[in-house]
Chain A
Amino acid sequence: MIIGISGLNNTDNPAPGVGVAKGLLEKHTLIGLSYDPNEPGIYQGLFSKVYLMPYPSVGAEEFKQRLRYIKEQTGLEAVIPTLDAELYLYIKYQKELEKDLGIKTFLPSLSQFERREKAKLAQLAEELGIKSPKTYQLFSVEELIKLLRDGDELKFPVMVKGNYYRAYKASNLEEAIEYFYKISNEWGFPILLQEVVSGEEINYLGLGNRGKLVGGIGIKKLTTTDIGKIWNGITIENPTLLKLAREFVEKTQWNGAFELECISNGREIYLIEINPRFPAWVHFATAVGVNLPQMVVDLMEGKEVEPQLDYPSQKMYVRYVDEVVTDFKLFRQILTKKEL
């Protein structure tokens, strides 16, 4: 299959595309869909062709035109989008992409996607019978000050989060205001203010097939970067986390990859966030025998897939730094011609 994959950043803030590509490299022709010539994944030898994509904010027509062009050039048959900011477009136009362009995707519906949004998480958690931290949606710094200085709903420390990206722990009002501007300047509004829950952060990466959990692994991040990206991790066996993943998929009739971010203190689990896509550590699952990107491709092709919910416990994931030396003309080419 000829598959387009987005999210080629592979710096200290890696995107999932490289991990997805590693799971598909042996059997498929891969096309990189990049937003920036600086993305290291472009130069790692994973993709037969790479195309620069218009930013999602440019609009749907540019996006569809670009995919049509890539289809004509490469015979693109499917796309696995991996970035939050572009998912809305892919989800909204998924039927059109398949019908008009012959490009398959494997994604949730718009209503499923919206049910797990950060601002609506508390409601979904309640429906799933699980706890979630108090979360407030903010559109101005005045609201933040009012909540933190004048209200008693939240106590420091608090998490200041972007709707798509970034999350910082603020220990006082000054820090909270700083993070509010830092995130809103880069990613816009709303900003979310969230209660901090103490315990161990555990995560579940899963794949839903029209309401049925068909694959996944549970992990704990052992060490992370300053912005919470995994360095080392370990596979865990947590029946409560698996049950939550199953219930989430069933309740929302979820279709596609997802990541549950939870905090557990050993007694109960709090649901912190649900990402509607593969996480950047997706290759961890592939390496322990649960190749979720390949399962996505099988499902896109209409094949039956055997559920893969078993995996070895206590396998350790180690991320490390690597280097590539390449010709600068490749960078110039993608910058000017928007393809490589």
Chain B
Amino acid sequence: MVEMVIDENNIGYIPSLGTSFQLNETAKEIILMLKQGKSKDEIVEELAKKYNKDWREVFIDVTDFMEKLKIYGVIQ
């Protein structure tokens, strides 16, 4: 479960830890998709299609981003 809540200024906040993050548009999109329960493969596919990018390139970026989310305690 992704606990992060995102406000109108794209600040992501984790209520149980009191930590805040400034998100860019893509980060926000990925977190919202994770909150919807989408898998990494689904997120990669959706982003690759939307931004017209090679899925391999998107896969590397999404994997890297999700590793960071784990380090920050945003996802388990």
Interface positions of A (Cβ within 8 A of B): 199-200, 202, 219-220, 222, 233-241, 264-267, 313-314
User: Footprint of A on B, CB under 8 Å?
Assistant: 13-19, 72-76
Chain B minimum-CB-distance residue to A264: B17
Residues of B within 8 A of A264 (CB): 16-17, 73
A266→B74 contact, CB < 8 A: yes
- Knowing A266-B14, A314-B13, the reply to whether A200 touches B76 (Cβ < 8 A) is no
A-B contact pairs, 7 of them (CB 8 A): A199-B73, A219-B18, A233-B18, A240-B16, A267-B76, A313-B15, A314-B15
* Most-contacted residue by chain B among A199, A200, A233 (CB, 10 A): A200
Establish whether residues B76 and A237, one from each chain, have CB atoms under 8 Å apart when the complex forms: no
Q: Is the CB–CB distance between B76 and A236 below 8 Å?
A: no
Q: Which residues of A contact B76 (CB under 8 A)?
A: 266-267
Contact across chains for A239 and B15 when beta carbons are under 8 A apart: no
B4 to nearest A CB, angstroms?
10
Evaluate contact between B73 and A239: CB separation under 8 angstroms. Answer: no
Bound complex: CA A152 to CA B17 (Å): 32
Q: With the chains together, A240 CA to B17 CA distance in Å?
A: 11
B19 touches A220 (CB 8 A): yes
Of B13, B16, B72, B74, the contact of A238 (CB 8 Å cutoff)? B16
* Complex Cα–Cα for A142 and B11 (A): 49
The 9 A-B residue pairs whose C-beta atoms are closest, nearest first, are A266-B73, A220-B18, A238-B16, A236-B18, A234-B18, A200-B17, A237-B15, A265-B73, A267-B76
Contact, CB under 8 Å: A220 / B17? yes
Q: Are A239 and B13 in contact (CB under 8 A)?
A: no
**Chain B residue at minimum C-beta to C-beta distance from A267:** B76
Question: Which residue in A233, A235, A266, A314 is a CB contact (below 8 Å) of B17?
Answer: A266
Cβ–Cβ < 8 Å partners of B14 in chain A: 266
A200 CB contacts on chain B under 8 angstroms: 17-19, 73
With the chains together, A266 CA to B74 CA distance in Å? 7
